[in-house]
């Protein structure tokens, strides 16, 4: 127990003043916290080799060194919860948590898909021309990536970039904006390879289809043949007892457009699409560019909430304040509600299509969120896992994370598809369903890889190769493409993978050795090893194993790899660097750090 009498007299030397510092903050914020001029902070940073401007964001470790040098004791604030809320909000996870009582119907968002030359662009143009009279809206219709039409007292939003490639590329980035797919099939040409792809891509996304039987004005239009081919491809039209509406149209003669739009509304009705207009907006970028005169421009489709002029927003890894919003008629608007497209001005840089926009309460939280997002992406990149691979499949099934194995099957000839498909589908067991989501003959394409990413699937290539572009994306995104030339081997591997019998063989590859020459204590319990690379190249993503007098003391991922003050990806032989290992803090001079990575043994 402590009594007053036991309280120690004050230390003769005044203790360092304590300053609470968040995980990330700007140079100006740090100055404010210590009640010193930001110029003093900048000078102190310079002494430590960091050149920073007043608004630059620095991390806690850097800030703590400066604060310590300036006579403060730095402690990290426990703003964890607050920050997590912001990051979560920025990742758009909040969309799931909607206040049920505030939900209101929202317009459907439609993507037009189909084979090349079947009339996708013509149909988009025809709908725009007939349904949107520019003069009504006081402007000339512009291409901003999406437009809305008004039919039977309802709005419908059309995405202006047709095709399943754009659709799946967005999904691969985690953004699903489309509610209904209009599948354009030319009545004189029928179901073609890209028609089939579009069907599979829409199905994989769980998006309902409305068929637009186009070019019905042509003499050799043959609707019956198209219905039969569609049914062979897995789409049974209503007339044949299925649940897919089909509408005969002509984009050229502008026939059947109203009928098509009403059918889109009927399908949407069933989907019961809702959002809460009365909250801060979350949206998805559908198009973005850098305008010479207006700076970065992004067309955002609002998913939920209402986006307003003047809102602070985070978009992907950039931020800004909405300076102006324009609709598809080039007219200034003050707000945009659910499913409405709006072109926004005021971002600091150009975002990517598919990235999420989130409204933030103020500039500071927007800035903090961007910094945190970048940090998280870098951290995630270091520990990046393949999406789904045959090697890791059983673990995912056992952990209950995977209930379906999605497979994209590419073969040299059409004839090989069915036997492989049926043998694979037979492997379905109680835990996991084997689902062939797309098949086709020919090499593995970019679109196949995108579909695998979007659907967390694997690709099986039988007697066929992989296109260069597809190979690159697959490597970056770690999509498992398996090549085979014997059918039973495919079945055997998938079967083994499902039952946990497929034993992946891995090997450890030693990549570098470094010697600890000096230990630097930084703020708190942190220390950095000043090391010299004896052989090999240290790559930031490799794992480190600390050895002392021949014994292994610790093993872990690198949390820091620096050359001078700069974070670097690699350090080569004969160079010095600063190293921190995750969860380890007791380096000693003379320690040897061995670096390695695990690679598949092929």
Return the range that interacts with ligand GDP (CB under 6 A); candidates 20-28, 110-118, 130-138, 579-587: 110-118
Binding string, 117-136, against ligand GDP, x = CB under 6 A? xxxxxx--------------
| Region of 427 on the Ramachandran plot (φ > 0 left; ψ -120 to 50 alpha; else beta) | alpha
The helix (run of H) or strand (run of E) holding residue 126 is: helix 120-131
Residue 442 sits at the vertex; the CA angle it makes with 234 and 174, to the nearest 5 degrees, is 65
In the complex, the smallest distance separating the C-beta of residue 212 from ligand GDP, rounded to whole angstroms, is 10
Strands 109-114 and 180-186: parallel
In the complex, the smallest distance separating the C-beta of residue 469 from ligand GDP, rounded to whole angstroms, is 21
For 190, the token pair is: 């029928």
What CA–CA distance (Å, rounded) separates 238 from 227? 10
- Residue 252 or residue 421: which is nearer to ligand GDP going by CB? 252
What CA–CA distance (Å, rounded) separates 361 from 312? 7
In the complex, the smallest distance separating the C-beta of residue 217 from ligand GDP, rounded to whole angstroms, is 5
Chosen residue from 250, 318, 327, 368 binding ligand GDP by CB under 6 A: 250
* 503 contact partners, CB below 8 Å, separation of at least 6: none
In the complex, the smallest distance separating the C-beta of residue 393 from ligand GDP, rounded to whole angstroms, is 38
373-400 burial, b at 16+ Cβ within 10 Å, e below that, comes to beeeeeeeeeeeeebbbbbbbbebbeee
What CA–CA distance (Å, rounded) separates 39 from 365? 23
Chosen residue from 45, 169, 170, 251 binding ligand GDP by CB under 6 A: 251
Q: How distant, in Å, are the alpha carbons of 124, 180, 249 from that of 254?
A: 11, 21, 7
- Residue 218 or residue 382: which is nearer to ligand GDP going by CB? 218
CA dihedral 286, 289, 293, 295 (to 10 degrees): 80
- Residue 124 or residue 307: which is nearer to ligand GDP going by CB? 124
Q: Which residue in the block uniquely carries the two structure tokens 């013509």?
A: 122
DSSP-assigned letters across all residues of 315-337: ETTEEEEEEEEE-TTS-EESEE-
Return the range that interacts with ligand GDP (CB under 6 A); candidates 245-253, 268-276, 296-304, 592-600: 245-253
- Residue 251 or residue 313: which is nearer to ligand GDP going by CB? 251
Chosen residue from 137, 252, 524, 557 binding ligand GDP by CB under 6 A: 252
What CA–CA distance (Å, rounded) separates 318 from 182? 33
Q: Which 156-175 residues touch ligand GDP, going by CB under 6 A?
A: 162
- Residue 259 or residue 471: which is nearer to ligand GDP going by CB? 259
Q: Are 147 and 155 in contact (CB under 8 A)?
A: no
- Residue 28 or residue 225: which is nearer to ligand GDP going by CB? 225
Strands 356-360 and 312-315: antiparallel
Torsion sign over Cα 334, 337, 341, 345? positive
Task: Phi first, then psi: give them for residue 281, nearest 5 degrees.
Answer: -75, 150
Q: Does residue number 116 form part of the binding site for ligand GDP (CB under 6 A)?
A: yes
Helix, coil or strand: residue 95: helix
Q: Does residue number 155 form part of the binding site for ligand GDP (CB under 6 A)?
A: no
Return the range that interacts with ligand GDP (CB under 6 A); candidates 20-28, 60-68, 249-257, 581-589: 249-257
- Residue 215 or residue 329: which is nearer to ligand GDP going by CB? 215
What CA–CA distance (Å, rounded) separates 194 from 448? 12
Return the range that interacts with ligand GDP (CB under 6 A); candidates 213-221, 232-240, 375-383, 534-542: 213-221
In the complex, the smallest distance separating the C-beta of residue 463 from ligand GDP, rounded to whole angstroms, is 31
In the complex, the smallest distance separating the C-beta of residue 242 from ligand GDP, rounded to whole angstroms, is 24
Nearest alpha-carbon partner for 556 in 571, 570, 569, 546: 546
| Region of 208 on the Ramachandran plot (φ > 0 left; ψ -120 to 50 alpha; else beta) | beta
Chosen residue from 155, 217, 391, 555 binding ligand GDP by CB under 6 A: 217
Chosen residue from 111, 161, 214, 389 binding ligand GDP by CB under 6 A: 214
Return the range that interacts with ligand GDP (CB under 6 A); candidates 65-73, 112-120, 417-425, 571-579: 112-120
In the complex, the smallest distance separating the C-beta of residue 192 from ligand GDP, rounded to whole angstroms, is 11
- Residue 123 or residue 286: which is nearer to ligand GDP going by CB? 123
295, burial (CB in 10 Å: exposed 0-12, middle 13-18, buried 19+): middle
Q: Are 584 and 546 in contact (CB under 8 A)?
A: yes
Size of the site for ligand GDP (CB under 6 A): 16
In the complex, the smallest distance separating the C-beta of residue 184 from ligand GDP, rounded to whole angstroms, is 6
- Residue 124 or residue 313: which is nearer to ligand GDP going by CB? 124
- Residue 447 or residue 559: which is nearer to ligand GDP going by CB? 447
Chosen residue from 23, 83, 164, 215 binding ligand GDP by CB under 6 A: 215
- Residue 68 or residue 250: which is nearer to ligand GDP going by CB? 250
- Residue 117 or residue 259: which is nearer to ligand GDP going by CB? 117
Task: Phi first, then psi: give them for residue 18, nearest 5 degrees.
Answer: -90, 140
- Residue 31 or residue 119: which is nearer to ligand GDP going by CB? 119
In the complex, the smallest distance separating the C-beta of residue 188 from ligand GDP, rounded to whole angstroms, is 8
Q: Does residue number 222 form part of the binding site for ligand GDP (CB under 6 A)?
A: no
Residues contributing to the site for ligand GDP (CB under 6 A): 114, 116-122, 162, 214-215, 217-218, 250-252
């Amino acid at each position: 127990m402590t009594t007053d009498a036991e309280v120690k007299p004050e230390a003769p030397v005044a203790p360092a003043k304590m300053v609470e510092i968040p995980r990330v903050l700007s140079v100006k914020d740090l100055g404010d916290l210590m009640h010193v001029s930001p110029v003093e902070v900048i000078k102190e940073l310079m002494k430590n080799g960091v050149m920073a401007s007043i608004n630059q964001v620095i991390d806690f470790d850097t800030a703590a060194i400066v604060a310590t040098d300036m006579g403060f004791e730095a402690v990290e604030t426990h703003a964890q919860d607050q920050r997590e809320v912001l990051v979560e909000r920025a990742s758009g996870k909040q969309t799931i948590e909607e206040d049920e009582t505030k939900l209101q119907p929202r317009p459907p968002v439609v993507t037009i898909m189909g084979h090349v030359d079947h009339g996708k662009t013509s149909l988009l143009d025809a709908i725009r021309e007939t349904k949107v009279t520019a003069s009504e809206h006081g402007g000339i219709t512009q291409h901003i990536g999406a437009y809305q039409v008004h039919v039977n007292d309802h709005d419908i939003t059309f995405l202006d970039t047709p095709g399943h490639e754009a659709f799946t590329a967005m999904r691969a980035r985690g953004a699903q904006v489309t509610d209904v797919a209009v599948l354009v099939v030319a009545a004189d040409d029928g179901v073609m390879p890209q028609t089939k792809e579009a069907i599979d891509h829409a199905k994989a996304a769980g998006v309902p289809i409305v068929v637009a039987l186009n070019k019905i004005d042509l003499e050799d239009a043959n609707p019956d043949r198209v219905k039969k081919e569609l049914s062979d491809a897995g789409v049974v039209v209503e007339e044949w007892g299925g649940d897919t509406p089909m509408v005969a149209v002509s984009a050229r003669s502008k026939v059947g457009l109203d009928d098509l739009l009403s059918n889109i509304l009927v399908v949407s009705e069933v989907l019961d699409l809702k959002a809460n207009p009365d909250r801060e907006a979350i949206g998805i970028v559908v198009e973005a560019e850098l305008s010479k005169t207006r700076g970065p421009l992004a067309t955002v489709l609002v998913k939920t909430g209402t986006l307003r002029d003047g809102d602070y927003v985070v978009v992907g890894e950039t931020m800004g304040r909405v300076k102006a919003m324009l609709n598809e008629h080039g007219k200034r608007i003050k707000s945009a509600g659910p499913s409405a497209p709006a072109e926004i001005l005021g971002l600091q840089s150009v975002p990517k299509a598919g990235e999420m926009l989130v409204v933030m309460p103020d500039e500071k939280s927007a800035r903090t969120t961007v910094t945190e997002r970048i940090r998280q992406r870098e951290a995630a990149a270091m520990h990046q896992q393949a999406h789904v691979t045959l090697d890791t499949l059983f673990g995912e099934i056992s952990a209950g994370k995977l209930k379906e194995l999605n497979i994209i099957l590419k073969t040299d000839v059409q004839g090989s598809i069915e036997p492989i498909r049926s043998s694979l589908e037979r492997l379905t067991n109680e835990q996991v369903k084997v689902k062939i989501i797309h098949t086709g003959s020919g090499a593995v394409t970019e679109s196949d890889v995108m579909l695998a990413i979007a659907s967390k699937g694997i690709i099986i290539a039988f007697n066929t190769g992989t296109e260069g572009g597809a190979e690159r994306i697959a490597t970056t995104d770690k999509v498992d493409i398996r090549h085979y030339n014997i059918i039973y081997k495919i079945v055997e591997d998938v079967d083994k993978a499902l039952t946990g019998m497929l034993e992946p063989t891995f090997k450890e590859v030693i990549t570098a050795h470094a010697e600890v020459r000096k230990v630097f204590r930084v703020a708190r319990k942190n220390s950095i090893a000043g090391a010299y690379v004896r052989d090999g190249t240290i790559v930031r993503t490799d794992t480190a194993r600390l050895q002392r007098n021949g014994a292994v003391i610790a093993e872990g991922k690198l949390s820091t790899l620096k050359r001078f003050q700069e974070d670097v990806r690699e350090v080569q032989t004969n160079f010095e660097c600063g190293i921190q290992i995750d969860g380890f803090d007791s380096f000693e001079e003379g320690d040897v750090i061995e670096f390695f990575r695990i690679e598949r043994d092929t």
